[in-house]
Structure 1
Amino acid sequence: MPQDTAKNATLVLDASASDLTRAAQLLRQGKLVSFPTETVYGLGGDARRGDAVAAIYTAKGRPSFNPLIAHVSSVEAAKRYVIWNAWAETLAQAFWPGPLTLVLPLAPDHGISELVTAGLDTLALRVPAHPTAQKLLAELDVPVAAPSANSSGRISPTTADHVMAGLAGRIAAVVADGACSVGLESTIVGLAGDAPMLLRPGGLAAEQIEAVLGQPLASRDIHDPLTAPGQLLSHYAPQERVRLDATSPRAGECYLGFGPYSGARACDLSLSDTGDLAQAAANLFGHLHRLDAQGLPIAVAPIPETGLGIAINDRLRRAAAPRDTPAET
């Protein structure tokens, strides 16, 4: 049942049918609702309504030149808004629902707010696998713009508590349904050019995508204009500085390890004691939130640059980027 203790408080809903109906009603009214996906908690607003999308940017403090991902319930729903192609069909059949976002040319009469696309002629689309997200999107049957539900540039949320810590009082509701299983944002692949291009590494390894396509993914030049979320240099940032490739902590640092680590301090954590990259990905943002609460700089162990390690390192490099660079999330 909803929990609401003040006039402007953020409702905390659960995954019951009645609460998901309430969440859908709020979204239809142009209000903002955070909900879980398998990657991170998203901050949802009706992607057709400019007022709702503008409210997302305001709540997050996100720059409006940065495009958003529209979430839909099915492949059939996705085809209403973009010009579909053979690459999209192949990848959707293999990986949707799941942690993969496809960027495709907008269809005529698409009805998507220009604030979602940041004025581009393409749209980023995803069909999430989380059952609660699936039920909510199916009940709505409209595209939902949903960046991560946190203040812009800060650590992404993988629990409802993370969402409330950053956005309570600024959004209408959050649907609380446990921790996200993947824990990294979706992998984004651009399909509007001459060849499929990796626009952002994420919760689906690029090697898996390439195996299905039967060809390598093209690489984006970091100096290219923004075409998808997750491409600005400073992102996912704790309050204090982050030092990468650290074999041990310095005095006054917390330590985020990978693999067996003998540190016994309260602020020593391991992403995976066994060196499992999937477990490390699932733990990344949650562990960063825990260490961030200590108010100390964070030293991070080396992570293998392979498989999901590529996406983990991408997030860590952005978390460690100088704070005078543009931020996003």
Structure 2
Amino acid sequence: MAATIYDCSDPASLLDGVRAARTAIAAGQCIVMPTDTVYGIAADAFSHSAVAGLLAAKGRDRGFPPPVLVADRHMATALAESVPAAIEPLLDAHWPGPLTVILRAQPSLTWDLGDTGGTVAIRVPDHPIAIGLLRETGPLAVSSANLHGMPAPTEAAAAAEMLGDRVAAVLDAGAVGGSAAPGEQNGSTILDCSTEGVVRIVRQGVLPRETVAVALGELLAPE
């Protein structure tokens, strides 16, 4: 059975949708939620079976661990072993926003996001519905709401059509993202900050390399 789509432009439907999403997350199911870049498929980051379900829904294996979305910097720092001081200005400027940073994960956390090599990719999305949901659920494993190899959706209907009954609820907040430059992805720019003394762009997304380079200087690895 197809997932229920909740129109988030209607206050009553938004309330019902967030309630349904929260219930689904607590039950170990996946949902579709809006972010500032694309629609994402989300699951409880601390549920091994839920994350496995997310990867299966997309047709991916453990070699593609999902990023973790959080509501704020405080929630992010609880997931990371440490945050390099050199990237703090970037986080100040672009969290919430289209910036994902890969950090060494807090070793005390009992989760399984896949083959991460002891790291975690973290982002604070710039979308009020996403932030509101994350404040209620805590950290969520979130990947673009598409089947592997298909374009990341910027419309809820496209996500629902691809994922079907693999998700329990779809929060429809209208069109999102769409600000990437030609030839670049609508998703966030991903920086690998897990190695001391160097930062690498592992995916060029909405946030331009030039902006990152201004903030990091020689710390940013060459293309």
- The TM-score normalised by the length of structure 2 is 0.89
Deviation sequence 1:200-219 (CA, Å, 0-9, x none): 10010011111122336214
Q: Which has the higher helix share?
A: 2
Partner of 1:55: 53
Report Cα offsets for 1:276-296 as digits up to 9, x if no partner: xxxxxxxxxxxxxxxxxxxxx
Match of 1:76 among 52, 74, 92: 74
Match of 2:29 in 1: 31
Structure 1 unpaired stretches of 5+: 1-7, 221-329
Counterpart of 2:188 in structure 1 is 186
Q: Percent sequence identity over matched residues? A: 34
Alpha-carbon distance in structure 1 between the residues aligned to 2:20 and 2:63: 31
Aligned to 1:12: 5
Q: How does 1:69-108 map to 2 (within 5 A)?
A: 69-82=67-80, 83-108=82-107
Which of 129, 140, 148 does residue 132 from structure 1 map onto? Answer: 129
Listed as ranges, the matches of 1:303-314 within 5 Å are: none
Q: Is the 8 A contact 1:73 1:134 kept in 2?
A: yes
For 1:103, the aligned partner's letter is I
Superposition map of 1:126-205 within 5 A: 126-140=123-137, 142-182=138-178, 184-193=186-195, 194-205=197-208
1:147 aligned counterpart, secondary structure? strand
Q: Does the CA contact (< 8 Å) of 2:4 and 2:170 recur in 1? A: yes
- Which residue identity is paired with 1:9? A
Q: Is the 8 A contact 1:199 1:219 kept in 2?
A: no
Separation of aligned partners in 2, 1:215 and 1:128: 27
Aligned to 1:208: 211
User: Residue 122 of structure 1 is aligned with which of 102, 110, 119?
Assistant: 119
Unaligned runs of 5+ in 2: 9-13, 180-185
TM-score by length of 1: 0.61
Task: Specify the alignment match of 2:182 in structure 1.
Answer: none
Q: Deviations over 1:172-200 (max 9, x none)?
A: 11100101134501000111112111111
Deviates more, 1:9-18 or 1:62-71: 9-18
CA positional deviation for 1:125: 0.3
Contact kept, 8 Å, 2:20 with 2:169, in 1: the verdict is no
**Distance change in 2, residues 1:18/1:114 (3 Å):** closer
Give the number of aligned pairs. 210
CA distance in 2, matches of 1:219, 1:143: 32
Paired position in structure 2 for 1:43 = 41
Q: Which amino acid aligns with 1:55?
A: G
Q: Distance in 2 between matches of 1:170 and 1:127?
A: 25
What's the secondary structure of 2:144's corresponding residue? coil
Q: Take 2:193 and 2:45, find their aligned partners in 1: how far apart are those partners? A: 21
Larger radius of gyration: 1
Q: Deviations over 1:135-184 (max 9, x none)?
A: 111121x2111111111111111101111221112211110010113450
SS at match of 2:194: coil
- Letter of the 1:189 partner, please give it: L
Distance 1:173-1:197 versus aligned 2 partners, 3 A rule: same
- 2:173 maps to a residue whose letter is D
